[in-house]
Chain A
Amino acid sequence: MLLELNCVSRSFGGLHALSDVTITLPQGEILGLLGPNGAGKTTLFNVINGVCPPSAGTVRFRGQDVTGKPPYALSHMGLARTHQIVRPLNELTVRENVMVGACFGHEQRRLGEAATIAEQTLAFVGLEARTNQLAGSLNVAEKKRLELARALAARPLLLLLDEVLAGLNPVEIGAMVEIVRQIRDQGVTIFMIEHVMHAIMNVSDRIVVLEYGRLIAEGTPAQVANDPKVIEAYLGRSPHTAQAG
């Protein structure tokens, strides 16, 4: 198993953002993570990559217990992620942003190699025209691509994608889904949070569903889509909408 979460919980004050979550992710899979707003999806990613350590439970990555390790340690081991709310390094160029991923992430490349990797990666996500611009000058869709390029430039083993499709138009969504597929074909394991239902149904091998910090369903896209609990949680409590979905 590439990633194993065992009975992970995390609370903020009295709020149980995650309760007893157990998930395993084998190498080569695309695992989707669904759940309504505030379900704890982003918190789960934060727990996995060490941004916020779990209050209880363990995280294992590549067979090692990484619970409580700092984010850079996980990055070095081959984990990379994107942020739901983009975090560009505004005063650096787009190229430099991506070079940071290549220089300090999984492969720890030298500056010169990183520049080459950055250019390749930017071409892959379709941002090559922006290479020399400051990251702060990109629009939101471009910043999402930049997040992805930065993560990819590290050549990670596991990629956590936090709502990379949110805020994109249908054409952009199609392009991004295609990019995600190609990344998987390169052998990268992907764990992705997504709100755009049909997109994640299309691209995932398996899906897990969170609600109020608890795992309420797990299975193939078809199984999850027909799970009454998921229909209720995800598509709202109105039976009418649930049937329509």
Chain B
Amino acid sequence: MKVVTAVQRAISTVSRVEIARWISPGLWLTLLAVAGFGAWPLVIGQASLRETLFTALLAIALASSLNIILGFTGYVSFGHVVFFGLGGYVGMLVLSKGAPLWVAMPLGGLAAGLLAYGLGAAILRLRGAYFTLATIGVNEAMRAFVNNFAPFGGATGISLKFTVYNDYGGAANALWLVYGLLLAVTLAAILLSYTVKTSKFGLGLMAIREDEDAAEVMGVVTPRAKTWAYVLSAIIPGIVGVIFFFKNGNIEPADAFRLQISIESIVMVMLGGQGTVIGAVLGAAGYQQLRSFLLTNPLVKDLQLAIAGGLLLLIVLFIPTGVVGLIRRKLPVLRKLLV
């Protein structure tokens, strides 16, 4: 009898926490906002708005994924674009062989996840700047490899025949479809980020971020936790890579493994607030806003990367916890909302 009540009590505590986890206004408001903005072009059927928001959603998906390894675990992956590029390549390869998009997307994610898993054992042993340098090395090595890898088309890459889009109701229709898919994947990325952050696994990651040796002493199996964090942060970029290059129609090494995308993702996460689900979303949206302004401004058009670098420096120096961290400190009432 006693055992039964103890068990009942345990179950009710567990489910109370589990329920509380999903009654999170911060999470739902974020999802709702992204879904609302994201669906707007679909509702009004405006192609130019769709293109603007495509870039923004892409940024949110990449930043939210990067945040898992960068913000939760404290490992600065500078070459994260390698997962986007590899996913894109694997997807384009199977698409060019006639596989449908629904097959290519998971395959791209799988390839990225497998690469992260394999790399994890090797480079996640490195700490701090050494890890960061290794991720850049991996990306550059991958670019060089793909440049000479015949199945991926070497330096010329892979192009899709225009007829491929016929299966998706023609090119114009495919653009809408691709947009809808990206919206869904972006929402999934946010949900994944939140699920990781509020899980036991996520608590282990944050312990690693704060003090890896202490985490290990308390029982966190750090090599395993870090590897899975890396894998989870790689899968969505892999899927997004497939979507992006399918829309693009062709992929080549210089586009797939562009370090600038990595750097910008880091700026987004840091700008919004590393380690927070909302921070990655706000940072990505905010940075894209800034970027589109810069792109249309002829004065600074070619200085984008310099500006991204300068911005990163300013953030690290003055608001290391990002906008969300700043608001949390200044307005503690909003703490609960800013997941």
Chain A interface residues (CB < 8 Å from chain B): 49, 51, 70-72, 75-76, 80-81, 83, 87-92, 96, 99-101, 103-106, 108, 110-116, 150, 154
Which residues of A sit under 8 angstroms from B217, Cβ to Cβ?
Answer: 49, 51, 71-72, 75, 81, 83
Given contacts A72-B217, A89-B210, 16 further A-B contacts (CB under 8 A): A71-B216, A72-B216, A72-B218, A76-B219, A81-B217, A89-B206, A89-B211, A89-B214, A89-B215, A92-B210, A99-B203, A100-B215, A104-B207, A108-B219, A111-B203, A112-B17
Q: List 14 A-B contacts (CB under 8 A).
A: A71-B216, A72-B219, A75-B218, A80-B218, A87-B213, A91-B210, A92-B210, A100-B218, A104-B218, A104-B220, A111-B17, A111-B199, A112-B14, A154-B219
B238 to chain A, nearest CB (A): 28
Kindly list chain B residues whose C-beta atoms are within 8 Å of the C-beta of A101.
218-219
Residues 258 to 293 of chain B near chain A (Cβ within 8 Å): 275
Residue of A nearest to B211 (CB): A87
**Other-chain residue from A71, A76, A83, A103 in contact with B200 (beta carbon distance below 8 A):** A103
Whether A103 touches B10, Cβ cut-off 8 Å, given contacts A111-B199, A112-B17, is no
Residues in B with CB closer than 8 Å to A150 are 218
Tell me if B204 counts as interface (CB < 8 A to partner A).
Answer: yes
| Chain B residue nearest to A49 in the complex (CB) | B217
Q: Is the CB of B200 within 8 A of A110?
A: yes
The distance in angstroms between the C-alpha atoms of A112 and B21, with both chains bound, is: 10
Q: A87-B213, A89-B214 are in contact. Are A72 and B206 (CB under 8 A)?
A: no
Which residues of chain B are within 8 angstroms of A103 by Cβ–Cβ distance? 200, 203-204, 219
- List of 9 A-B pairs having minimum Cβ-Cβ separation, nearest first: A75-B219, A112-B17, A104-B219, A89-B210, A112-B14, A87-B214, A105-B219, A111-B200, A71-B216
What DSSP secondary structure best describes chain B's contact surface? Answer: helix
C-alpha spacing A212/B145, complex, angstroms: 55
B221 at the interface (CB under 8 A from A): yes
Question: Which of B18, B207, B213, B275 sits near A100, CB closer than 8 Å?
Answer: B207
Nearest chain A CB to B184 CB, angstrom units: 28
Which positions 207-262 of chain B face chain A at CB distance < 8 Å?
Answer: 207, 209-211, 213-222
A92 close to B216 (CB less than 8 A): no
Q: How far is the CB of B245 from chain A (nearest CB, A)?
A: 37
Expressed in whole angstroms, the minimum distance between the Cβ of A148 and any Cβ of chain B is 13
By the criterion CB–CB under 8 Å, are A112 and B203 in contact? Answer: no
B203 engages A100 (CB within 8 Å): yes
Q: Is B52 an interface residue (CB 8 A)?
A: no
In the complex, the answer to whether B216 meets A70 with C-beta atoms within 8 Å is yes
Nearest-CB distance from B59 to chain A (Å)? 25
CA distance A108 to B218 in the complex (A): 11
Please tell me if B24 contacts chain A, counting CB pairs below 8 Å. no
Q: Cβ of A100 and Cβ of B220 under 8 Å apart? A: yes
Contact with A along B119-154 (1 / 0, CB 8 A): 000000000000000000000000000000000000
B181-219: contact bitstring with A at CB < 8 Å (1 yes, 0 no)?
A: 000000000000000000110011011011101111111
| CB contact under 8 A between A113 and B10, given known A51-B213, A89-B211, A103-B200 | yes
Any A CB within 8 A of the CB of B13: yes
